[in-house]
A and B are shown apart, each in its own frame.
Chain A
């Protein structure tokens, strides 16, 4: 580096000048780039980098050809999707349930077709799910409440598992959704979108198995489970196509909440030796997504 003069005023002057020149040069380059891009007919701005672009590749990552409801796949849910078994769901409250839980459950019962409410009656998760399997249910959902807020959800697929535990965040009941509509009893269709990994597809199939009945399209209701950065957003809409079939207008019916997968284990709950398929890390990389 060239030595600067010892006089402070002169030194600062030189510095200002160099700074100014640098700026000028940069501007020139930028304009040059812009002109070249326009000549080629492109957008000269670079698209911003998102976390999705920087995503770490993990095993079983296949964003290209993903088929969420694949009828040829064989797993615990294939019976339900093939139509051999009609999905039947029980929703059971947690141990210390207050009015928040009961409101939440009544909302769930409206959304999930063919679903029933049962009381917990001090039975453990294992006891309750075994009993539900005996009664011929295909899924059990246990809710969890802490400090009068819905915080979690156990979802057990019957009769042989798996058991998933989600934490629920930012739950907004139907009434609080701005401009909400009223849902009807018709069976909704489901959109399971952006599940990119094998685990993600497994989770999507598990959640989709709740709604696996043939939807009533005339009801124009749609349940969306969209995965983004391991957050699964739940939304419930009513839609309407315009006269030409070009546009859709949506009206939210509520509730809305976000699921975050904490743990996925094989088998029914209450078994400590069960194989853990996934457990959420406390300190994971910023660019690592599993679903």
Chain B
């Protein structure tokens, strides 16, 4: 039935669909091949005595060819599960391939070590914090760019900012910092034809006496401290003192924080460190190269796998 020489004379000498010819040599694409090399010794078709190791979902199996069942390709290979322990697995191979040629035993062990190594590497990579690669649709991006441009022109930003600042000035937000004469203000307001409501607000604010300021300061104090003060007990001076003291306290904390900033690392320092390592390797601009590429680009976005993080803990 099974004649190894006949099979090899056909498969090895004439044509084999599993064979891949490249300049470095002939390779085999058969999934049961032990080494991946196309040779008389390692051909899974032309050997009636053959063994290989295959990994499925993290488990290694020793596949032994039983030539008596060659007419049943489904049942041709006998599967032996190898232990997860590397040493025990080697012993298992030794035991199963006891009277087999040395080269087969040796190659099987080599294959097992290789598989074990890549499994370990795979696990380590999974534990690492990685970023997810997400495709970016260039066409959508282009559309968004156009929309942004139109929105910007629609917003009239500078004009809006100026109006907002002026309205803040008129509403008396800046208090004593600016000292513009009242008469000119009113003339300007008449010129501008500001709506009535706004002028009313302005007048009220401007004409307000010390009492209103007092109230304002109280409010600020209450808001900042979250306490309720009795109006009868505290005079204006007390409030001012309290307010100034809280203000100082805030500033003291600020100073400490600023010190922290100075003590802590500066982003530019980190940068300098990095750049000192790779001195002036970058010649061309990377931006130009990125622009040249067309079609779908891929961006990396950060993501986390909860399961993996838990395993690390």
Contact = CB atoms under 8 A, between A and B. Distances in A.
B161 A235 contact: yes
Interface stretch (A57-65, A145-153, A175-183): A145-153
B contact face: mostly helix, strand, loop, or mixed: helix
A142 B144 CA distance: 23
A94 B266 contact: no
Interface string B261-290: 100111110110001000000000011001
B207 interface: no
B: contact size bracket = 35 or more
Nearest to B189: A246
Nearest to B179: A245
Contacts of A88: 257
Interface in B78-92: none
Contacts of B175: 217
B14 to A, nearest CB: 51
Contacts of A142: 302
A207 interface: no
Interface stretch (B98-106, B113-121, B163-171, B210-218): B163-171
Contacts, number: 158
Interface in A152-202: 152, 154, 169-170, 191, 193-194
Contact of B157 (A94, A152, A226): A226
A86 interface: yes
B250 to A, nearest CB: 7
B267 A146 contact: no
Interface in B114-169: 129, 131, 140, 144-145, 147-148, 150-152, 154-155, 157-158, 160-162, 164-166, 169
Which of B129, B175, B188, B260 has the most A CB atoms < 10 Å from its CB?
B129
Interface stretch (A7-15, A17-25, A32-40, A95-103): A95-103
Given A95-B129, A117-B267, A248 B302 contact: no
A144 B299 CA distance: 10
A203 interface: no
B178 interface: yes
A246 B192 CA distance: 10
A272 interface: yes
A235 B157 CA distance: 9
B224 interface: yes
A85 B34 CA distance: 67
B147 to A, nearest CB: 7
Contact of B267 (A105, A144, A237): A105
B302 A244 contact: no
Contacts of A123: 129
A252 B200 CA distance: 33
Contacts of A51: 154
B264 A169 contact: no
B15 interface: no
A245 B186 CA distance: 11
Interface string A256-282: 001010000000011110000000001
A182 to B, nearest CB: 16
Given A191-B165, A239-B165, A272-B306, 9 more contacts: A82-B223, A83-B223, A109-B261, A228-B154, A228-B155, A241-B178, A245-B178, A258-B148, A270-B304
21 contacts: A82-B226, A105-B267, A109-B261, A109-B267, A114-B254, A117-B261, A117-B264, A124-B129, A142-B302, A169-B145, A191-B161, A193-B160, A193-B164, A217-B175, A228-B151, A244-B184, A245-B169, A245-B184, A246-B188, A269-B304, A270-B309
Pairs of residues from A and B, 8 with the lowest C-beta to C-beta distance, nearest first: A245-B180, A83-B224, A228-B155, A229-B151, A102-B267, A228-B151, A102-B271, A146-B299
Interface of B: 129, 131, 140, 144-145, 147-148, 150-152, 154-155, 157-158, 160-162, 164-166, 169, 173-175, 177-178, 180, 184-185, 188, 223-226, 250, 253-254, 257, 260-261, 264-268, 270-271, 275, 286-287, 290, 297, 299-302, 304, 306, 309
